[in-house]
Amino acid sequence: MSLSTLQTLRITVAALRQVTEETQGQLAAGIGLTQEKVSRRQSGATVWTLDDVDALAAHWGLAVLDLLAGPTRATEAYSTRHRPGPAATGQPLPATFAAAPAPPTAAVPAPAKPRPTDPAPAADPAPAAAPAPAATAAPAVVLDVAVELDRGRDGQLLLTDPAPCVRCARPTPYRAGGRPLHAGGWCTPAPAPVEPAGLADAAQQAVQAAVAPDTAPAPVAGPTAPAGLAETAAPPAPAEDEPAPAEQAPTAAPTPAAPAPAAASAPVRQEPASLAELLDLIRRPVERELARHGGDVDAATAALVKKAIPDAMALLAVSRVGARYEHTDHPPLPDILKKASKASADQVWEARPKWKNTALIKSTETELTVSALDMNGAYLSALKSHLPIGKLSHDTSGVWDPRQAGLYLVTPPAWEHPGLPNPLGSRDEAGPLWLTSSTMRMLQRLAGPKLGLCEAPVIHEAWTAYSTENILENFRQALGSARDTAIAEHDAVTLEYVKAMYSKFVSTIGLSTANHKMKRPDWMHIIRAQAFANLWWKGLKAREAGLTIVQMMGTDELHLVGDWRSVFPEGRKVTEVKLKDTYTIGGGK
């Protein structure tokens, strides 16, 4: 099969990213582009320019001709250098490609020069003078450029749940003939079970840097975790009159022991950060701010809430270390997600409930006691949503695929249950509307044989991508655990900090100017719609238990008549509900 120069270049870029384990965002930063632009060039939506080729070659330290000669030549050239591109790129070298640090001078003392009176050295050279072992080449790479990866109807590569590659056993979301295979046919073997002495996994380094900045190990070869939370990753707190550096990686002294030479050229696969490590990244900023403000709870809380957005994004980045797949932070957006003006909204309907049981309120003659319940951590629970991994692709098949997530233009079904709120919320206009996959999953379940409460919606078109519930799972668990601990310990500062992190995360990952780390309005709508769906399901649970729904509002407000404690546990955890108020209706009122 004959490949064009651009096709070969895309395969080469993918191959170099596979060998180096560099993320798309790191590559974009290294060549002076945005992640969205790199994604569009790699997908074929736009083309790599000659200036881009120069930047790519400089970034990886390759000659331009080596880069254009194809993936075999490029990866071989990269492997012989054991380092990233020259500093002429003008960009900071990503930590992914940082070479193994040389041991400090004290660790391997250099032999002293003989003085004129010293006897001649022995014939046998000292061990310190022995030649250094040759660096081991990068892992063997397998290529079959004739491999055709599976594509959808729009010609875009299909992404599925990651599975072990048939060649190298590393997880990959790509398929070729239905079999898991890395993009372009490039594979790197998995690392040895036992890592060389002196190498710490990336997540552990991030936590060590946060806990003990003065003793944290220096960066080593292979991918490293993103810097921890903005404050925990910074050096020790400066004096009051010194500005605190924002999101600065710790500067650490080199470790005394040098890693094996082979490790300098072979990337080390990262292991996920543990829950305890993620919790420590939440705890450290709280301790630092309380110390900085002399124990002033209000001042410390205000400072933490102010930087909740960058801290949440940093925590997300650390929680994604070692993930089986890479999600896209800045995908190209369909027009339905773009606002016509700053004051207007996009076209997506989130099905926010705003319902009162007016028939009951007006007709009841008996006085009824209503319990107004509050659902705890609504947006935190909604982080457990099916989210699209990559960019959304257009689909006009009208078929519902539960493996996909995104947005659907549908004609909604009729709703004929006056005692239950419409799962689509209160709509002023009839006709087709754009729904999220969270609302679609709810409607499909309601239309199923078990419930049969409505017909399935008619799908006209969709913008979707393969999805998973696990993108935010570690992030959600860390925030949830920190929230529970703060409640148990009456720690109001941490509680407000955690609330600000997950609520601001949801509200700013769309097109907000307050968060430039991610532009996923599809995720924002899906998560918010999931929170509304979760509330609706609680209302149905209460109805099936014999309680009467009086009101359902927003993300967390459910008003019931009846013994709600027999249905819901009372408390402040996300699995519990709390009583906000009681009032009466009927009886002439």
Tens-place pLDDT, residues 134-181: 444 444 344 333 356 676 665 556 666 667 777 766 677 777 777 777
What's at 283, amino acid-wise?
A: R
Closest CA to 405 of 335, 468, 464: 464
pLDDT at 324: 79
pLDDT at 323: 82
Provide the pLDDT confidence category of residue 455 given band limits of 50, 70 and 90: very high
DSSP code of residue 144: -
pLDDT at 53: 92
pLDDT at 413: 93
Give the span between the Cα atoms of 500 and 43, in whole angstroms.
36
Q: Enumerate residues 6+ apart whose C-beta is below 8 A from 226.
A: 206, 314, 317, 318, 321
- Residue identified by tokens 């190990």 is 217
Radius of gyration of the chain (CA): 28
Measured in degrees and rounded to the nearest 5, phi and psi for residue 30 equal: -70, -25
Contact 264, 79 (CB under 8 A): no
Between the CA of residue 245 and those of 25, 230, 252, 281, 307, what are the distances in Å? 22, 9, 16, 17, 13
- Classify each residue of 151-171 as buried b or exposed e, where b means 16 or more C-beta atoms within 10 Å of its C-beta: eeeeebbebbebbebebbebe
- Tens-place pLDDT, residues 272-301: 788 999 999 999 999 999 999 999 999 999
Give the span between the Cα atoms of 100 and 79, in whole angstroms.
14
Q: What is the mean pLDDT of the chain?
A: 77
Beta-carbon-side half-sphere exposure of residue 488 (alpha carbons within 13 Å): 7
Tokens of 24: 């798309």
Q: Enumerate residues 6+ apart whose C-beta is below 8 A from 456.
A: 400, 413, 443, 444, 447
Tokens of 249: 């990686």
Provide the pLDDT confidence category of residue 187 given band limits of 50, 70 and 90: low
Tokens of 158: 């299909």
DSSP code of residue 293: T
Give the span between the Cα atoms of 468 and 384, in whole angstroms.
10
Q: Which range has the worst mean pLDDT, 91-95, 168-172, 505-509, 545-549?
A: 91-95
Tokens of 276: 């305890």
Q: Which range has the worst mean pLDDT, 91-95, 460-464, 549-553?
A: 91-95
Residue 227 has pLDDT above 80, yes or no: no
- Helices marked H in 307-357: 308-319
- Residue identified by tokens 């927003």 is 554
pLDDT at 586: 83
pLDDT at 154: 58
Residue 117 has pLDDT above 60, yes or no: no
Give the span between the Cα atoms of 94 and 222, in whole angstroms.
10
Which residue has better confidence, 571 or 110? 571
Tokens of 170: 């590393």
Helices 35-43 and 5-20: angle between axes, nearest 10 degrees:
130
Q: What is the three-state SS of 186-248?
A: CECCCCCCCCCCCCCCHHHHHHHHHHCCCCCCCCCCCCCCCCCCCCCCCCCCCCCCCCCCCCC
Strand 348-349 to 433-436 pairing = parallel
pTM, 2 dp:
0.59
pLDDT at 563: 96
Provide the pLDDT confidence category of residue 366 given band limits of 50, 70 and 90: confident
Contact 393, 465 (CB under 8 A): yes
Closest CA to 138 of 217, 79, 193: 79
- Helices marked H in 293-369: 297-306, 308-319, 358-363
Provide the pLDDT confidence category of residue 7 given band limits of 50, 70 and 90: confident
pLDDT at 427: 82
Tokens of 442: 């709810």
Expressed in angstroms, the distance from the first to the final Cα of the chain is 80
Q: Enumerate residues 6+ apart whose C-beta is below 8 A from 295.
A: none
pLDDT at 91: 39
- Tens-place pLDDT, residues 314-341: 999 999 988 877 889 999 999 999 988 8
